[in-house]
Amino acid sequence: DTEVTQTPKHLVMGMTNKKSLKCEQHMGHRAMYWYKQKAKKPPELMFVYSYEKLSINESVPSRFSPECPNSSLLNLHLHALQPEDSALYLCASSQVSVGSQSYGNTIYFGEGSWLTVV
Amino acid sequence: AQKITQTQPGMFVQEKEAVTLDCTYDTSDPSYGLFWYKQPSSGEMIFLIYQGSYDQQNATEGRYSLNFQKARKSANLVISASQLGDSAMYFCAMSSLYNFNKFYFGSGTKLNVKP
């Protein structure tokens, strides 16, 4: 069983709705991620948090708003989304990069949240 | 710039046979990590195996092994004794010396195991 859990598993929302995706990890990691994945494509990085601070924002539209309340929780707030935002949203966690390669840099993913915008 | 290439969009393998999934990479960094992930149709990305650029030995994890050829910049995944449950999408990924929290993914290979 994955130690990164995401809720909800499936979400359908209208373009005027406000909803949130939630993620929790129990691995003691201090880096957490949001990825977006369209069908038959690799995951695309959206945001990275290190020690609860936003360290990477890959020019994501402001209708996606991340939040890291503590070291084990990560939220993605959704507002005024478009149908093209429909995708699988993956949360992940890892140790914070220590500037050298190691097995410890492995990123572990949750089961994903399937989002449909109607 | 970092780049990962997977040239096999789809592959078939007979159950109980071995299969090799290709991955080549391009980087000028002296230190990097290489990873393989499995993604079933349910969506979860499952970590399979890791290889560090300084590791002398090829990584192995159960039925998975990584054929690392540094000079050729290739990191092929070998799955031995394929099982029906191995049918999934497989992604090769790389992390960089300058930011190990930023992964670069290949386009993926869809593996189908035939009974």
Q: How confident is the model at residue A98 (pLDDT cuts 50, 70, 90)?
A: low
Residue A12's pLDDT is 97
Q: How confident is the model at residue A103 (pLDDT cuts 50, 70, 90)?
A: low
What's the whole-number average pLDDT of chain B?
Answer: 93
Burial of residue A26 (number of CB atoms within 10 Å: 0-12, 13-18, 19+): exposed
DSSP class of B80: -
**Cross-chain residue pair A101–B100, CB shorter than 8 Å:** yes
User: Which residue does chain A place closest to B44, by CA atoms?
Assistant: A111
User: From the list A98, A107, A111, which residue is nearest B44 (CB)?
Assistant: A111
Tokens of A70: 């503590």
Residue A74's pLDDT is 98
The answer to whether A56 touches A45, Cβ cutoff 8 Å, is yes
How many angstroms separate the CA atoms of B11 and B55, rounded? Answer: 29
User: Which residue does chain A place closest to B35, by CA atoms?
Assistant: A106
User: From the list B43, B45, B101, which residue is nearest A31 (CB)?
Assistant: B101
List the one residue out of B93, B66, B69, B90 whose CA is nearest residue B80: B66
The answer to whether A105 touches A1, Cβ cutoff 8 Å, is no
In the block, which residue shows the tokens 């499936």?
A10
Tokens of B88: 């999934």
B87-103 pLDDT tens trace: 999 999 998 766 767 78
**Cross-chain residue pair A109–B47, CB shorter than 8 Å:** yes
How many angstroms separate the CA atoms of B8 and B25, rounded? Answer: 14
